[in-house]
Structure 1
Amino acid sequence: MVLSRLTDGLTRSVESVTDAVTQPFSDTVIRLGVTGLSRAGKTVFITSLVANLLDRGRMPQLRAAGEGRIVAAWLQPQPDDTVPRFRYEDHLAALTATDPRWPDGTKRISELRLSLKVRPNGLLSGLQGPKTVHLDIVDYPGEWLLDLGLMDRSFADWSRDVLERLASRPEADEFRAALSAFDPLAEDTGEAPMAALADAYRGYLEAAFATGYSDLTPGRFRLPGDLEGSPVLTFAPLPQPAERPSRRSAWREFERRFESYKRNVVRPFFRDHFARIDRQVVLVDVLGAIHSGPRAVEDLRLAMADILGAFKPGRNAWLTSLFRGRRVERILFAATKADHLHHAQHPRLAAIAEALLRDARDRADFAGARTEAMAIASLRTTVEETVTHDGRELNVVRGRLAESGKQAAFHPGDLPSDPAHVLSPARSGAADWLGADYGAMAFAPARLTLTPGDGPPHIRLDRAAEFLFGDRL
C-alpha cells in the first residue's frame, strides 16, 4: 500500500510538472468539475451552460461574451478516451422537445470538451490574434465526493458514526431489524446473509435519500454503475464487538471489503479525475432541504462541509504547481432552482445558502481559493406573477407541473431575511419549522421557443460562468 501511494504521488507530480512546463506554449485548458448531491441539477446545469456558450445571446454577464470577444465555440472530442462523453445532444433534445422533459440524472463520471476562440483584450489586443481556450467539463455524482471522507477512517469508526446517525431515523427500521438478527462474530457466515444485510442497508440509503438526507455513504451503494452486485459493494456498518473478531468472522470480512472499497474504488477516482480539477461548481438544492425540514438542512450543511474537505483549495500559481499538485482555484456554491421563487426572494435564498455553507467556504477561503455563493436556475421553468389572496398581494411563480403537465401558480412561503431562523432550528435538531411552512413544487421544463443566437433561458448562469472561468477568457 505504501509503495502504491508513493507511485501514485510520483505519477501525479510528474504530470503536474509536465503540465506546468508545457502550459505557456499550448492552448489554455480549464478543467471544470460539476458536482452536487442527487436532484441538485448537474445534468441540466452542464447542458444549459454549453448551449448558452454555443449561442451566447443570454450571457451578457460573461464579459468575454458581452464584449463580443468570443469569436466561435465548438464541441470537440474530450481528451480522455477512457471516460464516457457527456450526452449533451440527448439532454438538450429532452429539454427542447415539443413535450420537454427532464433528462436522466448523473449516475457516473462523464466529460465534455467545449473549445472557445477568444479575442484578447487590453493594450496589446490589436497585436495578438484570437486564442483557443478549451473548457473540459467533468460531471460526477456528488455522493462520490462524500466517499473521499472515508479514506482516513477505519471500518469501526465509519460504522459507529453511521449507526449513531440512523438510530433515530424511522427510514432505518428494516435495516436495524436485519442488523439485530446478524451476528458479526459468526464465522463462515456465507455470502447470502451478508448480501441480505447489505441490501437492507442499501434500502435504508434509498429511503433516507427520498426523505431528504444527504449523509449517504458509501456513495456507490446508490449509484453502483458497473460495480453492482460485486463484493466491494456488499458490506454494511456493524456495531463494534466486545471481543476481537476472528479472521473468518463476518466483521473481519466486512472490514476487508470496506478497505477494498477505499483502495479500488475511491482512491482511483481521486487520482484519475478529481485531483486534476482547476475550478469547481457545487450545486446545492437548498429549497429541497428546507422543504424536508430542519434535520435535512443540518444534514446538508454537514455533508457540504465533508465534501469541501475532499478539495485541495488554493491558488494554482504556475511556479508553485511545479512543487505541488493542482489545486482548485475557485469554488462556486450554487443554490439551484431559483426560478421556484419570485426574484424578490432570491437574495434571501443566496443568504441562506451562504450561511449554510459557511464552514465549507471558510476552509476554502483560508486555503487561498476564491469562493462565492449565489442563487441560480440553470433552466428557467416559470414566469412571475402577482396575485391577490385573502385581500393581500402575493408574489408567485407559474409553471407547468411535472406530474400533470397543467399550469399552476405557486407561492412556497416567504423565506426569512435572517438565515439564522433556518440554521438555528436545524442545528438544534428541531423536528419542524415552528409554525413556518415552506412548500416545494416539482415543475416540468417549460416549452421553449428560442430565437437564433439565444440559448435556453436561465437565471444568473452567465454570472456563474464569469466567476468560474471568465478570468481565463
Structure 2
Amino acid sequence: MVIGRMAEGLARQVEAVGESVSETFFEPVIRLGVTGLARAGKTVFITSLVANLMDRGRLHGLVAQADGRIQTAFLQPQPDDTVPRFDYERHLAALTAATPHWPDSTSAISELRLSLRVRPDGFLGGFQGPRVIHLDIVDYPGEWLMDLALLDKSYADWAGDVLSWASKRPMAQGFLAEVEKAYEKADWTETEVQELTRLYRRYLVRARDAGHSDITPGRFLLPGEMKGSPVLSFVPLMQEDRPSRRGLYREMERRYDAYRDRVVKPFFRDHFSRIDRQVVLVDALGAIHKGPMAVEEQRRAMAGILSAFRPGQNAFLSRLLRGKRVEKILFAATKADHLHHSQHGRLTAIMEAMLRDAVDRARFAGANTQAMSIAALRATVEETLQHEGQPLDCVRGTLLDADGNRGRMAAMYPGELPEDPNRLLNPAMAGQDTWLDGEYDLMNFAPAQLRLKPGEGPPHIRLDRAAQFLIGDKL
C-alpha cells in the first residue's frame, strides 16, 4: 500500500514536470475551472464565453483582441480522453434558435479545449510568429461542489450540522422522525438503510427545490454510475456516546468515510487540484429574493467550497514539489441583466461581502482575486418607467413560465439594493425570516431572440472583462 502510494506520488511529480516543460517551451495551457452552485449559470457562461472567443466582435475589454493580436480561435479535442466533452454546439443551438431556450443544466463533469492563435505583443512581436495557447475549460456539477467541504469534516460534525439545519425545515420532518427511531440501533438490515437513504434523498431534493444551498452529499442528487452502491447509502444520525461496534451509527460513519475517501478525494485530486484559473459563479440575486436564510446558507456554502481551493502563484518549483495552485479567482455575481446597470456596483459589493473570509484567505495565499457582476447572455433591455410621478429604472424581457415555456413581455423593477451590504448580511446571519426594510422581486426571463452580425458573439454584460482578468495575461 505504502509503495503504491509512493509510486503514484512519483508518477504525478513526473507528470507535473512534463506539463511544466511542455507549457514553457511549446504551447501554453490554461486550465480554467468553472464552478458554482446549481442554477448559477455555469453552462450558459461556458457557452457564451467560447462563442465570444470564437467570434470576438463583442470582446472590447479583452486587450489582446482590442490590439488585434488574436488571429483565430478553434475547438480541438480535449486532452483528457476519459472526461466527457462539454456539448458546446448543442448548448449554443439552444440559445440561438428561432425560439431560444436555456440549455440543460450540468449533470456530470465535462471539458472543452479552445485553442487561440495569438501574436505576441511588445518587442518580441516583431521577431516571433504567432503561437498557440490552449484554454481547457472544465465544468463541474454544482451539486458535487458542496462535497468538497466534507474533506475536513468528520461524520459526527457533518451529521450534526445537517440535522441542525434540517430541524428548521418542514420538508425534513418525516426523515427526522425516522432518524429518532434509529438512535442507538444495534440491529439493522440493508433494506432499512436503503429506506432511510430514500427518505433523506427525498428531503435533499425538496430542500434544493426550495432554494436551500447546504445540500450534501451532492452525488445523492446526481449519482451517475454509482446509483444504488453502498457508498451512496448513508444518512446523518444523532451522535451516540458509545456506539455499538456493529451498530447502525458505526456503519453510517464507515460509509461516510468511504464516500469521502473514494469519491470526494479522487474527484478533488484528479480535477480540482489541476486548476490554475477559477471562476466562481454565484446567483446572489436569487438568494436575496428568497430571503435572509437563503443568503446566509449561500454564504456558508460558498465558504465551504472555497476552503478546498489551494490559491497561490504557480512558480515552477512550487508546481514541481507541491502541485498546481490557483493563481486567479473570479467571483462573479450572475444574472446582472436582471438589474439596471446603476445597481451593478451594489450587487458586486454584496457578493464580495458575502465571500469576504474566503477572498481574504485567497489573497493572503498570493492569489489574485476580483469580484464583478456579469451576465454571460443578456436576456433583457433597460427601460425607465414613470410610477406615481417618479422614474423607475427597470429591465424588460420575455418571462419564463413555470412550465419552462416562453411567456409574455414584461418590465420588472426588482427593488433597490442597499449601498451597505451589511443591511442584508446582518439580518441573514441573525437568522431573520424576512427582510424588514425592503422587498426584492425577481422574475425568470427566457433568453432573448438573437440577431447576430458576422463576427459577433452573443450579447453579454462584462464577459469581456471577466476574460481579461482570467486569461488576458497569458495572451
TM-score bracket, shorter-length normalisation: over 0.9
Match of 1:398 in 2: 396
Match of 1:239 in 2: 238
**Inter-partner Cα distance in structure 1 for 2:456 and 2:412:** 28
Match of 2:138 in 1: 138
Is the alpha carbon distance of 1:151 and 1:11 closer, same or farther for their aligned partners in structure 2, counting shifts above 3 Å?
A: farther
Instruction: Please state how far the C-alpha of 1:20 moved relative to its aligned partner.
Output: 2.2
Match of 1:36 in 2: 36
Asked if 1:330 is matched to 2:328, the reply is yes
Would the aligned equivalents of 2:333 and 2:372 in 1 still touch at CA under 8 Å? yes
SS at match of 1:236: coil
**Inter-partner Cα distance in structure 2 for 1:209 and 1:271:** 27
**Inter-partner Cα distance in structure 2 for 1:244 and 1:321:** 44
Would the aligned equivalents of 2:95 and 2:101 in 1 still touch at CA under 8 Å? yes
1:173-200 deviation line (CA, Å, top 9, x unaligned)? 121122223345232x222211111111
1:426-445 equivalences in 2 (<5 Å) = 426-445=428-447
Match of 1:259 in 2: 257
SS at match of 2:410: strand
Match of 1:151 in 2: 151
Match of 2:457 in 1: 455
Match of 1:290 in 2: 288
1:221-370 equivalences in 2 (<5 Å) = 221-247=220-246, 249-370=247-368
Instruction: Please state how far the C-alpha of 1:296 moved relative to its aligned partner.
Output: 0.9
SS at match of 1:124: helix
**Inter-partner Cα distance in structure 2 for 1:436 and 1:465:** 34
Match of 2:471 in 1: 469
**Inter-partner Cα distance in structure 2 for 1:443 and 1:243:** 54
Instruction: Please state how far the C-alpha of 1:2 moved relative to its aligned partner.
Output: 6.1
1:230-255 deviation line (CA, Å, top 9, x unaligned)? 211111100112332232x2222212
Instruction: Please state how far the C-alpha of 1:152 moved relative to its aligned partner.
Output: 2.8
Instruction: Please state how far the C-alpha of 1:7 moved relative to its aligned partner.
Output: 4.8
Is the alpha carbon distance of 1:13 and 1:146 closer, same or farther for their aligned partners in structure 2, counting shifts above 3 Å?
A: farther
Is the alpha carbon distance of 1:439 and 1:7 closer, same or farther for their aligned partners in structure 2, counting shifts above 3 Å?
A: farther
**Inter-partner Cα distance in structure 1 for 2:289 and 2:4:** 45
**Inter-partner Cα distance in structure 2 for 1:22 and 1:99:** 44
**Inter-partner Cα distance in structure 2 for 1:132 and 1:84:** 23
Instruction: Please state how far the C-alpha of 1:394 moved relative to its aligned partner.
Output: 0.4
Paired AA for residue 128 in structure 1: Q
Is the alpha carbon distance of 1:227 and 1:356 closer, same or farther for their aligned partners in structure 2, counting shifts above 3 Å?
A: same
Would the aligned equivalents of 2:108 and 2:141 in 1 still touch at CA under 8 Å? yes
SS at match of 1:176: helix
SS at match of 1:18: helix
Structure 2 length-normalised TM: 0.96
Q: 5+ residue gaps in structure 2? A: none
Would the aligned equivalents of 2:106 and 2:142 in 1 still touch at CA under 8 Å? no
Match of 2:213 in 1: 214
Would the aligned equivalents of 1:8 and 1:271 in 2 still touch at CA under 8 Å? no
1:312-348 deviation line (CA, Å, top 9, x unaligned)? 1000112332222100000000000000001111111
Match of 2:409 in 1: 407
1:191-223 deviation line (CA, Å, top 9, x unaligned)? 221111111111221222122221111111112
Paired AA for residue 215 in structure 1: D
Paired AA for residue 273 in structure 2: A
Q: 5+ residue gaps in structure 1? A: none
**Identity rate, percent:** 62
Would the aligned equivalents of 2:243 and 2:250 in 1 still touch at CA under 8 Å? no
Larger mean Cα displacement after TM superposition, 3-12 or 282-291: 3-12
Would the aligned equivalents of 2:335 and 2:375 in 1 still touch at CA under 8 Å? yes
Is the alpha carbon distance of 1:75 and 1:241 closer, same or farther for their aligned partners in structure 2, counting shifts above 3 Å?
A: same
Larger mean Cα displacement after TM superposition, 67-76 or 210-219: 210-219
**Inter-partner Cα distance in structure 1 for 2:283 and 2:8:** 35
Paired AA for residue 448 in structure 2: A
Instruction: Please state how far the C-alpha of 1:144 moved relative to its aligned partner.
Output: 2.0
Q: CA RMSD in A?
A: 1.4
1:406-462 deviation line (CA, Å, top 9, x unaligned)? 100001110001111111111111111113101111000001111000000000000
